[in-house]
A and B are shown apart, each in its own frame.
Chain A
Amino acid sequence: MIHFERFQLNNGLKVIVHKDVSTPMAVLDILYDVGARDEDAAKTGFAHLFEHLMFGGSVNIPDYDEPLQVAGGENNAYTTNDLTNYYCQLPAENLETAFWLESDRMLSLAFSEKSLDVQRKVVSEEFKEHYLNKPYGNAWHIMREMAYTQHPYRWMTIGKELSHIEEASLKDVKAFFFKHYTPANAIMVVAGNVEMDEVIRLAEKWFGGIEAGATYTRNIAREPEQKEARKQVVNAAVPLDAFYKCWHMAGRMDQRYYTADLITDILGGSTSSRLFQTLVKEKKLFSNIECHHFGSMDEGLLAIEGKLVKGVSPETADAAVEMVLDSLRNEKVAEKELQKVKNKTESIMAFEDMSLMNRANSLAYYELLGDAALMNNELEKYNAVTTEDILSESRRIFDDSKSNTLYYLASKK
């Protein structure tokens, strides 16, 4: 059970306070309700590029990192398709430094040409390092484009293509900032060795004077229901054939999300899971195989991917995956198997909550979902899933007419 209190400033900024006196540290986490799904299809990768620019100096403070490091703190940030999260941890006695830094960049950035120029290059290198210069690096670019025709989940947070990042202008940057980086569009979590009264005082002092700004209303095209199976074959200079397949699943706030999450654990996730045991160990068709999903807020994707053992045709591998899925579509899983993945989930959540930073991140995330208190009800929702739910949800998800398949093949030399 994670305890917290909350208040809201007049400009709309929501603040959550989680007190833990067992640590000498404090965490300040600010989550902005903006992700790659809020981007224009012609300017993708912007939310993530923008995250880099948030470290390029704010209106009154030329450098974000230095004063934080002087105060003994460290920080980082991440962008997903749904949100952007900034967090820093520092000795609790220096908490005000974090308020000073974070409030100034919410007030306004420095918008320097130099910073934009450098970060465009840095992000281009990040793009190359993770997506171009690695074998199979572009597989999920292809998969997303195949699985989504309308919804902005069809591009990755890094962006659809390098040119979108290279062409970003300072004008775009400013417009993005004033549209999304407003107090009402943010959630702040203060965690650690902190006092509620002091947090209220600091929040009023540093954030209270920031103007509320215009309200942003999200208006995202809903993905139409997929009617027929889609399939692509790619040949590239990779050493092994690889197999990717995905289906659509419920969004984060749907109870069916929890069922789908447990299905991925039954299929993948450990060496006793079905795909690994059947296809790697018994049939020896894959050298590795995994099943995962993206935890997306809107309707997301559940995926199976793996590398084939040399000499195995992708059609054989595909059919074997379908046979494993048949067992889920045709009969209920044993109670014991369901209990196993529930136990695993309980354990993962407990381990995650060990770290103060993770607790702060989670509180902000659940508040974005609607209420930070949801964090404490997660286990109940998993425990409510029955073997009937697994059966009916497996039938619904693994419908072949809603599948997207990619054979990523080693080109013959």
Chain B
Amino acid sequence: MIQKTAPLNRKQAPRIKDAIEFDLTLKPYEKLVLDNGIEVYAVHAGPEELMQVEWVFSAGNWYESQNGIAAATNYLIKNGTKDKSAFELSEQVDFYGAYLNRNCYNETANITLHTLTRHLSSLLPIVSEIITDSIYPVGELDIYKQNMKQRLEVNLKKCDFVANRLIDEYLFGINHPYGKYNSSKTYDELEREKLEAFHRQYYLNGKCTIFVAGVLPKDLHQQLNSHFGQLPLNRVAVTDIDHPIREAVEKNYRIINDPNGVQGAVRIARPFIDRKHPDFAATQVLNALFGGFFGSRLMNNIREDKGYTYGIHSYFQNYMHGSSWMISTEAGKDVCEETVKEIYNEMKELREVPVPAEELLLVKNYLIGTILGDLDGPFHIIGRWKNIILNGLTEDYFYNSVQTIKTVDSKTLQELANKYLDPASFYELVVV
């Protein structure tokens, strides 16, 4: 029997369900409180017997009184305690196949642990030890200074690195935590007593919140309590510090960093609204259209049509006390000015012409699809929660953002483009 089927029409796209029709749910966390008041947010999920624990301290650059102290204190926190050398600490962690990392940001600094769930109880004492007993050996600090200075010297040859530093300086001012940067001298001036003092104030006696995700052990609360619930954390409120932003007056800059460079780093940026501003959710859609994903206008124009660059992106730098909207690319040296011009052309287009319905639907579907994909797995889920909790937001923030992405219209986006994509508000920098 011959079965009759319609010939395959390859020009016809299969029917789809618009991603904006999907329901997105952010899996709730469980909240535990340790004896000393430390809040623990936990998400239990995942296909593998693994977990991630993150200790977040209010110990970022914001709190240092001298450049580089917060970062060095964070970096060297696992390089020696009263009882163990850096090598011994590292070897113990490695033996369990675990990863103990630390990162210093503007407001916060963290310690993160990634481990197979079965080894958690062997590793928590080490984390507790570095919070209570880090001693910052002078030999470790000397190696750090020398190696960081050498690394800085290499980075200063890179146009993108130099451009990132300068654009932040223009946006926030050289004395602001978001705008300042390190020099060789910064490292020379680090002293172990200052690191020790910073550690004592902002880690041992500091403010800590814990985020846990993965396949969690049944006695998690008890384990965390016995290792962290008795420490002198969270007893004193962190003192508010005010750092005024001082934007640069001059808006345009051209810098030659390497006369033989074949590419230039282009940065165009403006101060921007924060997450709590009523326009914020909708500007995420505008940003995506503009330069926020592979199908964006900047990418289509400057990479896919003109081939000036390997990639161009726009994004928000969202900090707790200030934000910026940034366009960033590395382009051929002889097409940098043309690239700058095209970026402004794309701003103009967004201001003057309403976004066509088809393109808007595409961007919305893409954004929702990305969030859907990003809610896959416990580490991503806790990441979303961390962002909400540390910024003093609530669950509604997530659902309202999703709702705005699904419903924002062309008219609103055009209004926002007129409000925020005004070239006069942008700093402009090219570093070759």
A residues with CB within 8 A of B: 20, 22-25, 59-61, 65-67, 69-74, 89-91, 93-94, 96-97, 99-100, 103-104, 107, 117-126, 128-129, 132-136, 205-206, 209, 237-240, 270-272, 277, 280-281, 284, 287-288, 307, 309-310, 336, 339-340, 343-348, 350-351, 353-356
Contacts of B260 in A (CB 8 A): 237
Contacts of B308 in A (CB 8 A): 121, 125
- Beta-carbon nearest neighbor of B52 in chain A: A351
A239–B294 CB distance below 8 A: no
Contacts of A23 in B (CB 8 A): 376
Contacts of A354 in B (CB 8 A): 46-48, 50, 377, 379
B96–A125 CB distance below 8 A: no
- Beta-carbon nearest neighbor of A70 in chain B: B362
25 residue pairs from A and B, CB less than 8 Å apart: A23-B376, A25-B373, A70-B16, A70-B366, A71-B19, A72-B19, A72-B372, A96-B15, A100-B10, A104-B10, A117-B307, A121-B308, A122-B304, A124-B332, A125-B309, A125-B310, A135-B157, A135-B158, A270-B90, A280-B147, A288-B147, A309-B146, A310-B150, A336-B95, A347-B98
B2 within 8 A of partner (CB): no
B22–A91 CB distance below 8 A: yes
B16–A66 CB distance below 8 A: no
How far does the Cβ of B44 sit from chain A's closest Cβ, in whole Å? 13
A-B pairs with the 8 shortest C-beta distances?
A72-B369, A121-B307, A72-B19, A347-B97, A343-B97, A96-B14, A60-B10, A272-B91
CB-CB under 8 A for A126 and B310, given A61-B10, A91-B372, A239-B153? yes
How far does the Cβ of B350 sit from chain A's closest Cβ, in whole Å? 18
Choice from B13, B153, B306 contacting A100 with Cβ under 8 Å: B13
Choice from A93, A118, A129 contacting B305 with Cβ under 8 Å: A118
B361–A118 CB distance below 8 A: no
CB-CB under 8 A for A119 and B11, given A91-B19, A237-B260? no
A205–B8 CB distance below 8 A: yes
CB-CB under 8 A for A125 and B332, given A94-B17, A347-B97? yes
A65–B295 CB distance below 8 A: yes
User: In the complex, how many residue pairs between chain A and chain B have their CB atoms under 8 Å apart?
Assistant: 212
CB-CB under 8 A for A132 and B262, given A66-B295, A69-B365? yes
Which of chain B's residues 263-317 have a Cβ closer than 8 Å to chain A? Answer: 263, 293-295, 303-310
- Beta-carbon nearest neighbor of A101 in chain B: B13
B59 within 8 A of partner (CB): no
Kindly state the separation between the CA atoms of A107 and B10 in the bound complex, as whole angstroms: 10
B146–A351 CB distance below 8 A: no
Kindly state the separation between the CA atoms of A382 and B261 in the bound complex, as whole angstroms: 45
A281–B365 CB distance below 8 A: no
How far does the Cβ of B81 sit from chain A's closest Cβ, in whole Å? 15
B330 within 8 A of partner (CB): yes
Contacts of B14 in A (CB 8 A): 94, 96-97, 99-100
CB-CB under 8 A for A353 and B48, given A66-B295, A104-B10, A129-B330? yes
- Beta-carbon nearest neighbor of B11 in chain A: A60
How far does the Cβ of B406 sit from chain A's closest Cβ, in whole Å? 12
Which of chain B's residues 219-236 have a Cβ closer than 8 Å to chain A? Answer: none
A339–B48 CB distance below 8 A: no
Greatest chain A CB density within 10 A among B143, B308, B369 is at: B369
CB-CB under 8 A for A347 and B115, given A121-B307, A240-B154? yes
How far does the Cβ of B360 sit from chain A's closest Cβ, in whole Å? 11
Choice from A20, A71, A209, A272 contacting B87 with Cβ under 8 Å: A272
Choice from B97, B147, B153, B159 contacting A344 with Cβ under 8 Å: B97
Contacts of A60 in B (CB 8 A): 10-11
Kindly state the separation between the CA atoms of A69 and B370 in the bound complex, as whole angstroms: 9
Kindly state the separation between the CA atoms of A348 and B96 in the bound complex, as whole angstroms: 12
Greatest chain B CB density within 10 A among A22, A70, A104 is at: A70
Contacts of A237 in B (CB 8 A): 157, 260
Contacts of B87 in A (CB 8 A): 271-272, 277, 281
Contacts of A122 in B (CB 8 A): 303-304, 307, 309-310
Kindly state the separation between the CA atoms of A239 and B154 in the bound complex, as whole angstroms: 6
How far does the Cβ of A147 sit from chain B's closest Cβ, in whole Å? 24
Kindly state the separation between the CA atoms of A134 and B87 in the bound complex, as whole angstroms: 32
How far does the Cβ of A77 sit from chain B's closest Cβ, in whole Å? 11
A118–B366 CB distance below 8 A: no
Which of chain B's residues 83-107 have a Cβ closer than 8 Å to chain A? Answer: 86-87, 90-91, 93-99
- Beta-carbon nearest neighbor of A63 in chain B: B295
